[in-house]
Structure 1
Amino acid sequence: MKPPLRRPPVATGPPGRRAAALAAAGVLLLTSGCTVANSGSAAGADAVQVVLPEEPPTLEPCDASLTATGRVVRSNITEPLAERVPKTGGLEPKLATGWKQTSPTTWRFALRKGVTFHDGTAFSAKDAAFSIDRTIDSRIECNVDGYVFGDSELTATAVDSTTLKVTTAEPDPILPLRLSFVEMVPTSTAANAKVREPVGTGPYRVDAWNQGINLRLDRYEGYWGRAPDYAAALYTWRAEGSVRAAMISSGEADVAVGLAPADGAGDNSVEYPNNETSYLRMDAGKPPLDDLRVRRAINYAIDKKGLVASVFAGLGKPAGQLVPDGVTGYNPDIKAWPYDMKRAKSLIKKARADGVPVGTKITIIGRNGIYPKAAEAMEVVQSALREAGLNVEVKMLDVNAWTEYLLRPFPKNAGPTLLQAQHGNQAGDAAFTMDQIYGSKGAQSSYGTPGLDKKIQRAGREAGRDRQAGFADALAYQSDKVVRDAVLAHMKGIIALAPDVSYKPNSASGDEMHLAEIHPAG
């Protein structure tokens, strides 16, 4: 199979001078009270500077399905065997040049020759087999394992230096798509522990990670593919969206992500569908959230249209399911829950009359920077749920503390929680939503049922139209019979670009921003 043609660079404006921009915006930065120290001084003239909402919690490749990690690591530092093209949904070769299914449970991958890791060693089928085994080894609790593979059992074997054989316990019609989430690392990588600074085959290598300040990547001169335009990339992080936008205006950054309309990026801003769905995960195994009436009441109590129009400033669309249109399994018959406070109050009242402890404190576990105005969104939800008759408090956390609640094993003695979360199905198949988020043993699942598990497993064995129908049925069952979540909205994103930089965001940009696709404008 042939890789698709690269998209041409998109000019975003006339070339600009960073020094002039700094002088023009100096007053703004001083009066705003923000500090941009260390943001650009280490970059150099031939470096692209990216400002993020948060510092990556890790650069571990097997956790690259986490947004904060993946947007730095994936296809920048490390690379997979194949890569999904957001525009078409198809797979393009990366470190594998082709693949074929040789039996219902066996696939063969032909690997690219002449590829080296950043330490100079050659990439081979032994490294690929090791990377797969390491990623699906639960002993180091890789997020990719739960997100992509679930309970799947497979064996990866090096046939020779450029041929990889992968055998699955059950037929898996989308195995190449699953393996596109496994980043390749050398066999010298620790097998029983996560790494801080990975060695990969990507166009950039880790130069220096100054904890709490910045992260610098340098172009890898031995890269097998086309060399990226910039010799280096400097990542910094600022929690306030207005500060990130100001850094673009001042020339302190070239690209800023995770912005809101109110952040003031102006003509530098670019909107795009970011493939993310915002939702609240209910701790449905604990009272009062173990009562279906309470979970339904929560959905009725939240005015999703109002939330999108006000807090999200129109950057979204009210949603009733975690997967958006275009993903295999999307069910067009599932609509966003209507806002009906009267009905929500009635359900809570009936639950209380039957002895359900609706007065028990429910904690909303929020995450700073998960999307613009994250705290304000949870305050709106808190107000609505209190009005419905529930006892709700908000606890906003930074990404590291929040991740403790996202992934198994969850914190003990936390009481009933609603987790502010966001899910991006960049793989384009509902299996990557259903297994990890709704399966009883899913890495991000707080609750599941045998009935839903069976529907998920049945759909996962199918292909084509049967696969679409099976997952659409599982999503409908979840929405009607389980109601584990309060799905809020399918989101849009905003990034800001400096005038002398061009980049065309796509639906995957929120999860993985390829530095090689960023170019000087003109």
Structure 2
Amino acid sequence: MTFYAARPATDAKKLRPRRGALALAVLGAGVVLSGCSVANSGAATGGGAAAASDTLRVVLQQEPPTLEPCESNLTSTGVVDRSTVTEPLVERNPSTGELEPKLATEWSSEDNKVWTFKLREGVKFHDGSAFTAEDAAATIDRAVNSKLGCNVEGYVFGDDDLGVEVVDDTTLTVTAKQADPILPLRVSFLEVVPAETSATEKVREPIGTGPYKLESWDAGQKITLARFDGYWGEQPAYAKAEYQWRSEGSVRAAMITSGEADIATGLSPEDNIGDLGVPYPNNETVAIRMHNNKAPFNDIRVRQAVNYAIDKEGIVASLYGGRDKVAAQLVPEGVVGHNANLSPWAYDAEKAKQLVAEAKADGVDTGAQVSLVVRNAQFPKIQELAQVIQEQLTQAGLNVKLKMLETSQQLTYQVRPFAEDEGDIGLMIQHGNQAGDAAFTVDQYMTTKGAQSAFGTAELDALIKKADAATGEERQKAFEDVFAYQNENVVQFAHISHQTGMIGKAATVDYTPNSSTGDELRVAEAKPAQ
């Protein structure tokens, strides 16, 4: 491909007037407060059917802590934001794994280091302004190169900045610090915002280019999106999408069966959803991430004991009806780098006790408090799961205190810089590899300075660096080695299960969930059933 000579993005910005900052202020001031009644609830006819409506009613497990686009890799934010309010340059098809055009129509590189993106013409933001390469460049600078502290930076890009240059209004070059064969896949995690969006403060209510725009956010009650008439693509079937949240799965299920909601996320058959429950393949893995800066987890034998102490098969059978699969690593089958040769740790309560006793005999304070930190309503039966694990670790000889926290509190333990605690920390994580490549797991969860890694080793860092740069079969084998090394030599994690998902769906709605539904519910794909 032939491109124009590049010029710095800062020069390009001088050609355009400011328009986003004022729009953000106006949008924030325009939020309309409303009551807490469920929309259209009076029209319910029972059995999941409701009178025809131009509003798609969605009930989530929890209220999003923010709709800040650079935090949209967090499930609670992305389930509303991604590909609905905001859009990326490139989008991964959750069914095929292929990258598809979104705000960029094509991309290429001759050396896997400098990538050129050609951008879609005729796209407008919700404030009416035109989308250009300046906005794409500013989005990357804001999320990756600034000190804003976006979660997506650590999750996807690590410590390395990207070089960004605007060639013309529809051409952008992005340069990695070193060759990166999956850079377009990384870029798919960046939701584009106007160039004038603050790079020093996060925004709660975004302006995007998606099929829906934010109409109102009644804090603690509901979020309402309105169809964006200026959308560049196909118009969604529903004029509005309304989100409410209920922490109890049985309550969410009842809203579907009674006709008070059209789609409910995070359900299980035990929530009495019946035939209105729709299962789908999930990419989520549940594990306990152990910190090692204090006793007792600073001894590898104790971390091994945790793995032996948890009856994973029993948990999957009793709590999840055998639908989930016991996990041996942080990524499920189908993700590049999944090591099919790894076996889950066997349940051996006596071995767990023995390892704890050995560590204690060598002077490790095995009676020191361990805080098992868990997020409320993160997935079905999470509190019951936490209580089972607490009991099993206690039986192994550890002193475990359960801390059930709301999302904003739990995130202070999940992402660096980690919150301090009176005891050592075991954090329950639910990790979804939406991208289909192990780099998006190991870079953040296993390197010594990873955004969600409690510790690592120089040897493991070297293995990860080698895997990140590899392609093809070499990449697959290199990541297999990473997961094997973690399990044998580091043991930061006690893997529990690869999950399956389930939504509730009213009979009046036509929508097919996929592996990304739990992270980004593309409501524009829903339409009234025929």
Common topology (TM > 0.5): yes
Contact 1:348–1:388 (8 Å) recurs in 2: yes
Out of 84, 90, 97, the residue aligned to residue 105 of structure 2 is: 97
Out of 216, 223, 227, the residue aligned to residue 235 of structure 2 is: 227
Find the aligned partners of 1:196 and 1:488 in 2 and give their Cα distance: 34
Q: Does 1:407 align with 2:415?
A: yes
Shift of 1:412: 2.3
Shift of 1:517: 1.1
Q: Which residue of 1 aligns with 2:133?
A: 125
Alpha-carbon RMSD across the aligned residues, in angstroms, is 1.8
CA deviation profile, 1:134-187 (whole Å, cap 9, x unmatched):
111351111110010012331111100000001111001001000000110001
Q: Does 1:159 align with 2:167?
A: yes
Q: Which residue of 2 aligns with 1:184?
A: 192
Contact 2:369–2:422 (8 Å) recurs in 1: no
Q: Which residue of 1 aligns with 2:385?
A: 377
Find the aligned partners of 2:472 and 2:47 in 1 and give their Cα distance: 56
Find the aligned partners of 1:23 and 1:462 in 2 and give their Cα distance: 55
The amino acid that maps onto 1:279 is A
Q: Which residue of 1 aligns with 2:466?
A: 458
SS in 2 for 1:70: helix
Q: Which residue of 1 aligns with 2:23?
A: none
Shift of 1:102: 3.4
Contact 1:315–1:493 (8 Å) recurs in 2: no
CA deviation profile, 1:34-61 (whole Å, cap 9, x unmatched):
xxxxxx9xx9930100000000011000
The amino acid that maps onto 2:386 is M
Q: Does 1:266 align with 2:274?
A: yes
Q: 1:103/1:247 Cα in 2 relative to 1: closer, same or farther (>3 Å)?
A: same
Q: Which residue of 1 aligns with 2:396?
A: 388
SS in 2 for 1:48: strand
Find the aligned partners of 2:270 and 2:520 in 1 and give their Cα distance: 24
SS in 2 for 1:435: helix
SS in 2 for 1:468: helix
Find the aligned partners of 2:260 and 2:46 in 1 and give their Cα distance: 11
The amino acid that maps onto 1:182 is L
Out of 345, 362, 386, the residue aligned to residue 337 of structure 1 is: 345
SS in 2 for 1:103: coil
CA deviation profile, 1:324-346 (whole Å, cap 9, x unmatched):
11111110011111100111111
Q: How does 1:123-522 map to 2 (within 5 A)?
A: 123-522=131-530
Q: 1:500/1:485 Cα in 2 relative to 1: closer, same or farther (>3 Å)?
A: same
Q: Does 1:71 align with 2:79?
A: yes
The amino acid that maps onto 1:443 is A
Shift of 1:445: 1.0
The amino acid that maps onto 2:355 is L
Q: Which residue of 2 aligns with 1:33?
A: none
Find the aligned partners of 2:214 and 2:295 in 1 and give their Cα distance: 46
Find the aligned partners of 2:374 and 2:321 in 1 and give their Cα distance: 19
Find the aligned partners of 1:102 and 1:435 in 2 and give their Cα distance: 25
Shift of 1:315: 2.9
Q: Which consecutive unaligned segments of at least 5 residues does structure 1 have?
A: 1-16, 26-39
Q: Percent identity?
A: 53
Find the aligned partners of 1:226 and 1:375 in 2 and give their Cα distance: 41
Q: 1:325/1:195 Cα in 2 relative to 1: closer, same or farther (>3 Å)?
A: same
The amino acid that maps onto 1:202 is G
CA deviation profile, 1:357-382 (whole Å, cap 9, x unmatched):
00001010011111111110010001
Find the aligned partners of 1:232 and 1:399 in 2 and give their Cα distance: 26
Q: 1:222/1:393 Cα in 2 relative to 1: closer, same or farther (>3 Å)?
A: same
CA deviation profile, 1:106-137 (whole Å, cap 9, x unmatched):
11000000000000010000000000111113
Shift of 1:303: 0.4
Shift of 1:515: 0.8
Contact 1:129–1:164 (8 Å) recurs in 2: yes
SS in 2 for 1:262: helix
Q: 1:23/1:436 Cα in 2 relative to 1: closer, same or farther (>3 Å)?
A: closer
Contact 1:53–1:238 (8 Å) recurs in 2: yes
SS in 2 for 1:311: helix
Contact 2:146–2:199 (8 Å) recurs in 1: no
Contact 1:364–1:393 (8 Å) recurs in 2: yes
Contact 1:102–1:108 (8 Å) recurs in 2: no
The amino acid that maps onto 1:489 is S
Find the aligned partners of 1:304 and 1:361 in 2 and give their Cα distance: 23
Find the aligned partners of 1:196 and 1:279 in 2 and give their Cα distance: 30
Contact 1:22–1:252 (8 Å) recurs in 2: no
Q: 1:166/1:383 Cα in 2 relative to 1: closer, same or farther (>3 Å)?
A: same
The amino acid that maps onto 1:163 is T
Q: Which residue of 2 aligns with 1:111?
A: 119
Decide which moves more: 441-450 or 484-493. Answer: 441-450
Contact 1:204–1:217 (8 Å) recurs in 2: yes
SS in 1 for 2:109: strand
CA deviation profile, 1:426-481 (whole Å, cap 9, x unmatched):
10110000011111111111111111111111110111111111111011100111
Contact 1:329–1:467 (8 Å) recurs in 2: yes
Contact 1:209–1:216 (8 Å) recurs in 2: yes
Shift of 1:398: 1.0
Contact 1:21–1:249 (8 Å) recurs in 2: no
Contact 2:46–2:259 (8 Å) recurs in 1: no
The amino acid that maps onto 2:88 is P
Shift of 1:494: 1.1
Find the aligned partners of 1:359 and 1:503 in 2 and give their Cα distance: 51
Contact 1:56–1:68 (8 Å) recurs in 2: yes
Find the aligned partners of 1:137 and 1:57 in 2 and give their Cα distance: 23
Decide which moves more: 410-419 or 78-87. Answer: 410-419
TM-score (norm 2): 0.90
Shift of 1:252: 0.9
TM-score (norm 1): 0.92
